[in-house]
Amino acid sequence: MAQTRRFELAMSPHVGANQTTRKIMFDVVIALLPALAAATWFFGPRALLIVFLSAATAVVAEFLCLKFMKRPVSFALDGSAIVTGMLLAYNLPSGVPIWLPVIGTAFAIVVGKQAFGGLGHNIVNPALLGRAFLMASFPILMTAGWAAPEAWNSSEDISWGTSGIAMEEMSTIPMADAISGATPLNVLKQTFDLDASAANARNEGNTTEAQSLEERADGIRSALSCNSTYMNLLIGRSGGCLGETSVILLLVGAIYLVMRGVLELRLPVSYLGTVAVLAWVFGGSGWFNGDPLFHVLAGGVILGGIFMVSDMVTTPVTPKGRIIFGIGAGLLTMVIRRWGGYPEGCSYSILLMNLVTPLIDKLTLPRVFGEVKKNG
């Protein structure tokens, strides 16, 4: 089964491009670095350790898999494993035990990538599969214990907590204790629960209780939609996964990728656009009164939109297909956020759309030049 060196054969015409897998992947790594700086600033050196462990595990797992399958081990250094490892780490809470990124990344590489034949053959994004694996295996570790930003180097009480809501706004919310330790999207989810309880109370004829519940939900919602909260979310001063919080630094990475010609804007723009529009349609308490800005800034949609929706292997290749993919993923994200069991639906929406990518490609395949449309 020794790998023999073969000549690459392909039909003409050929276009020479200066891009190689390695170059693209290292551009992605560079684009991920600003967000890593933010993670280290807000969540402490531990964030750095988790990202490093994850990336290192990815390379080692890739190396072992290639060795086992008797394929050239140099593939392990093409950068794609490092990207997978870093992205998985960016999807973890900062407080996870250090073995968690190790087994998550090992699973992502071994089952999500190499079992399907390595880079270019995996059907779903390996980093997201690793996250789904960890969510199913260690739900409590993955969804509890969000660290407050900057808590690691501050001895005093962390005024902004994990919710991203500024302290002066916190004091206006009745029973603010209930939302301590929750991420911005968790807090939003709680307002939906409060709405449901209020509706129940109203049905039972308990108007005063219903009113106090509604007041609480509205108070939290207005605190989430104020400028100081937007600012916290923009710079990353809120609880959440390591790499998802600092929107501004993720966007710096995105600009770099666009300049390098690696990031094609159709996917992220259609994805984030759909999220924003649907956030306005049903992301709030009723219809057509949601807060698109909050929904785009909170949670992982910026990280997902830049680095995962645009994954080259697992998303459609046709321009039309890419827009369909972005819209589908945005729709699923918002449906999960509003009605699902989890506060955030970014990763599952992308995984689900990954699975239908071949179908989208098939449906949107352009006609060959000169081909006559059937029944046209």
Partner 1 sequence: MADMLKIGLVLMLVALIAAVALGFVNSRTAPMIAIQKELAKQNAMTEVAAGLSPGDSLAFDSLSVTSLENPYASCDNTLNIVRVSVPPDTSRIGYVFIAFGKGYSSTVQTMVAVEIEGVISNTMILYQQETPGLGANIVNPAKLISKFNGLIASQCLLSKDGGGIDAMTGCTITSRTVTNSIRTGLEAMSEAGLFDSGDTEGGMQ
Partner 2 sequence: MSLIKDFTKGIYRENPVFRLVLGMCPFLAVTTSVENALGMGAAATFVLICSNFLVSLFRNIIPSKVRIPCYIVIIATFVTLVDMVMNAYLPDLHRSLGIFIPLIVVNCIILGRAEGFANRHPVLNSIADAVGMGIGFTLAMVILASFRELLGNGTLLNINVLGSAYQNQPLLIAILAPGAFILLSFILGFFNILEKRKGGRQ
Q: Is 50 exposed, middle or buried (0-12, 13-18, 19+ CB in 10 A)?
A: buried
Q: Which is nearer to partner 1, 203 or 375 (CB)?
A: 203
Pairwise CA distance, residues 96 & 138, whole Å? 10
Residue 359 interface partner, choices partner 2, partner 1, none, CB cut-off 5-8 Å depending on type: none
Nearest-approach distance from CB 75 to partner 1, in angstroms: 36
Q: Which is nearer to partner 2, 133 or 271 (CB)?
A: 133
Cβ distance 148 to 258 under 8 Å?
no
Write the DSSP string, 283-306: SSSSSS---HHHHHHSTTHHHIII
Residue 15 interface partner, choices partner 2, partner 1, none, CB cut-off 5-8 Å depending on type: none
Cβ distance 108 to 130 under 8 Å?
yes
Cis peptide leading into residue 149 (ω within 30°): no
Which residues in this chain contact partner 1 in the complex, by CB under 8 A? 139-140, 143-144, 175, 178, 190, 193, 197, 213, 341
Pairwise CA distance, residues 128 & 73, whole Å? 24
Nearest-approach distance from CB 116 to partner 2, in angstroms: 11
Q: Which is nearer to partner 2, 33 or 141 (CB)?
A: 141
Residue 341 interface partner, choices partner 1, partner 2, none, CB cut-off 5-8 Å depending on type: partner 1
Q: Which is nearer to partner 2, 140 or 372 (CB)?
A: 140
Phi, psi dihedral angles at 120 (to 5 degrees): 100, -15
Pairwise CA distance, residues 330 & 8, whole Å? 38
- Name the DSSP class of 91: T
Nearest-approach distance from CB 115 to partner 2, in angstroms: 8
Cβ distance 95 to 65 under 8 Å?
no
- Name the DSSP class of 116: G
Q: Which is nearer to partner 2, 249 or 350 (CB)?
A: 350
Which positions ≥6 away from 95 have C-beta within 8 Å?
Answer: 145, 146, 147
Nearest-approach distance from CB 140 to partner 2, in angstroms: 8
Buried b (16+ CB within 10 A) or exposed e, 7-37: eeeeeeeeeeeeeeeeebbebbbebbebbbe
Pairwise CA distance, residues 237 & 292, whole Å? 19
Copy the structure tokens of residue 116.
């399907």
Give the C-alpha distances (Å, rounded to integers) separating 236 from 167, 172, 183: 16, 23, 12
Nearest-approach distance from CB 126 to partner 2, in angstroms: 14
Tell me the β-bridge partners of 93: 241
Q: Which is nearer to partner 2, 137 or 207 (CB)?
A: 137
Residue 206 interface partner, choices partner 1, partner 2, none, CB cut-off 5-8 Å depending on type: none
Q: Which is nearer to partner 2, 138 or 342 (CB)?
A: 138
Residue 190 interface partner, choices partner 1, partner 2, none, CB cut-off 5-8 Å depending on type: partner 1
Cβ distance 102 to 138 under 8 Å?
no
Q: Which is nearer to partner 2, 30 or 141 (CB)?
A: 141
Nearest-approach distance from CB 111 to partner 2, in angstroms: 6
Copy the structure tokens of residue 279.
């956030």
Residue 178 interface partner, choices partner 2, partner 1, none, CB cut-off 5-8 Å depending on type: partner 1
Residue 168 interface partner, choices partner 1, partner 2, none, CB cut-off 5-8 Å depending on type: none
Cβ distance 374 to 368 under 8 Å?
no
Residue 30 interface partner, choices partner 2, partner 1, none, CB cut-off 5-8 Å depending on type: none
Nearest-approach distance from CB 176 to partner 2, in angstroms: 31
Nearest-approach distance from CB 140 to partner 1, in angstroms: 5
Q: Which is nearer to partner 2, 115 or 175 (CB)?
A: 115
Which residues in this chain contact partner 2 in the complex, by CB under 8 A? 103, 111, 115, 133, 136-139, 141
Nearest-approach distance from CB 137 to partner 2, in angstroms: 4
